[in-house]
Amino acid sequence: MAKRVVVNRYRCAYCGACVAVCKFNANELVETFLVIDEEKCNGCGICVKVCPMNALEVVS
């Protein structure tokens, strides 16, 4: 199965860090709600490394 990133909403503090590093524009902060576009995300995990809250995880 292809890799993708999922968000733990209980941890996410909707700061936008993950949006700033995603060159595929897969992550989007809608008001205070993080949306990850599964079509665009290839699971590279760069956003996992930048997340201040450990709220993101690569799964397959």
Q: Is 9 in the site for other proteins (CB under 8 A)?
A: no
Q: Of 20 and 38, which has the nearer Cβ to other proteins? A: 20
Bridge-based pairing state of the strands 4-7 and 56-59: antiparallel
Binding mask 17-46 for other proteins (x = CB under 8 A): x-xxxxx-x--xxxxx-------------x
Give residue 16's region: left, alpha or beta (phi > 0; psi -120 to 50): left
**CA dist., res. 26 & res. 24, Å (int):** 5
**Interface residues with other proteins (CB under 8 A)?**
13-17, 19-23, 25, 28-32, 46, 49-54
